[in-house]
Amino acid sequence: MITAIMSIIFLTFGVYTHYRIFSSEYRLSTWQDGLKIYAPAVMIIAIILFIIYGIIALFTGITVPVPSVPEFEMPAANTVTNTIMNVYNNAAKNISEATNTMATNLSNATNKITTNIANTTNKMANNVSNTLNQPVNNKNKVSRSFVETF
């Protein structure tokens, strides 16, 4: 209960302080409120002027210029169908060519990778077999650099 009363007191104090600090901004931002009492009179005057203009235009023969509507000719159905089918066929052909090119490039890259792996494996196998076939002269000697790394 005390919390509720204190929150009401602080809210009231906050609103009062806020309005006191920003009262000039509120006054400046609502200066148009005084003009809204003139809105009905402005609308009535505008409607009366529009009616007077309409009456004058009706009896004096003033006309509103209306531009002529251009004539549109519809193409034959065969031409439209042919055009659409040509666009569709070109798109399908381009997609097919792109897919084939991509598949060829992927196949070539795969073959190169396979060849490189096979060559590297063969080189490693040859190196290992050459190392195993060499006689071992310094069986228990460890190089100084090997010891220094540890």
Backbone conformation region of residue 61, classed left if phi is above 0, alpha if psi is from -120 to 50, else beta: left
CA distances, 102 to each of 11, 94, 105, 108, 131 (Å): 69, 12, 5, 10, 43
CB 64 within 8 A of CB 70: no
The owner of tokens 């007077």 is 52
Q: What is the pLDDT of residues 93-117, one digit of tens each?
A: 888 888 888 888 888 888 888 888 8
pLDDT value, residue 46: 94
pLDDT-flagged residues of the chain (< 70):
62-65, 75, 77, 128-150
Residue 56: what pLDDT?
84
Query: What pLDDT does residue 30 have?
Result: 74
The pTM is what?
0.32
